[in-house]
Structure 1
């Protein structure tokens, strides 16, 4: 059973999200929070597998809550579920360590898949978020592209191939098939690449790849 904490400051929406999450037989809501600070406290108390949270909340917003949870409890994956598709939230949340970014108009099955993917170490983005991410990551803002290219240059050829395939949205199994490698070898190359890039999840790694124009 995947244990989930839901954080949203709107009570009716929060109740609806809880019902949607628990409609899946393998997902269980173990706590609810109305602000980011309460969400961090619940994560500390319940040690859930996933924190599902909104971005704009009182006391502590979703971005600060993401940073706090990833710093204090890295075993808990963070999935954003929000109405906000803006530069103020998308890339900052993903760079802060969010494993996924979903919009509230997502289908129930997309929500369930997003929670499961986060636990599996993968990531899922709403289609509109993916398009926004590609555009934002492609902009050479404050030299990020140059830095990303320097970081990628430190990768071994096979590590680079794995990261490029990851940026194409492939799973580990699909990467293994593309590169004619064992899935365990893909995982090893990806872990080594992430250590060199200073990233902590697949989404952050894909962002670096897009910024370096590997994709």
Structure 2
């Protein structure tokens, strides 16, 4: 059972999200919060797996709450659900290491699937966010480097930037998912990052991967 907490300052939206999620087998909304401090308090006292987090909330905002929860309870997968699609906010949030960033115009099926993917450790970006993010990062002017990555690791990193899952990468390269995971562990270590999203960000920023 995937245990979810919804943090949003609009009660009607929280109720709607609860109804959508509880229609799905294997997902249970265990609690709600109306602001960032409430989300922090729940993270410290209530066991759960996924936090659906709005950013624009009164008091302690969602960004600061993400920072504190990532620091204190890194096992919780944070999936940001917001209307804010500004380049600066997207970069700021993803650099904290959240598991995903979705806009509130997302359909219910995509939301549910995103929760399931985050639960299994797969980071999520909406297509709109991905396009804005990569467009922004492609403008940065850093000198090319390989950071010690092998040709195979660079190949896999290219697929990661493109949003491919481990299974899709394995199928494309004719290697097992376990081999992909081993390569990813090496990539994370060499890039000094913690997850796929941070690896993709850094790969584009320092031009390890060329955007089409």
Q: Give the TM-score range, shorter chain.
A: over 0.9
Tell me, yes or no, if structure 1 residue 206 matches structure 2 residue 200.
yes
Deviation at 1:87, TM superposition (A): 2.3
Deviation at 1:195, TM superposition (A): 2.0
Deviation at 1:155, TM superposition (A): 1.9
Tell me, yes or no, if structure 1 residue 95 matches structure 2 residue 95.
yes
SS of the aligned residue for 1:80 comes to strand
Tell me which residue corresponds to 1:85: 85
Tell me which residue corresponds to 1:32: 32
Distance 2:150 2:61 in 1: 38
Residue by residue, what CA displacement relative to the aligned partner does 1:30-61 show, whole Å, maximum 9, x if unpaired? 11001111101101112311111001112221
TM superposition score normalised by structure 1:
0.91
> Which piece of structure 1 moves more, 194-203 or 71-80?
194-203
Question: Unaligned 5+ residue runs, structure 1?
Answer: none
Residue by residue, what CA displacement relative to the aligned partner does 1:146-168 show, whole Å, maximum 9, x if unpaired? 4xx44x42223322222111111
TM superposition score normalised by structure 2:
0.92
Question: Unaligned 5+ residue runs, structure 2?
Answer: none
Tell me which residue corresponds to 2:139: 139
Deviation at 1:189, TM superposition (A): 0.8
Distance 1:19 1:119 in 2: 19
> What's the Cα RMSD here?
1.5
Tell me, yes or no, if structure 1 residue 162 matches structure 2 residue 159.
no
Q: Determine if contact 1:99/1:202 at 8 Å carries over to the other structure.
A: no
Tell me, yes or no, if structure 1 residue 192 matches structure 2 residue 190.
no
Distance 1:57 1:195 in 2: 35
Alignment of 1:50-69 (within 5 A): 50-69=50-69
Deviation at 1:99, TM superposition (A): 1.1
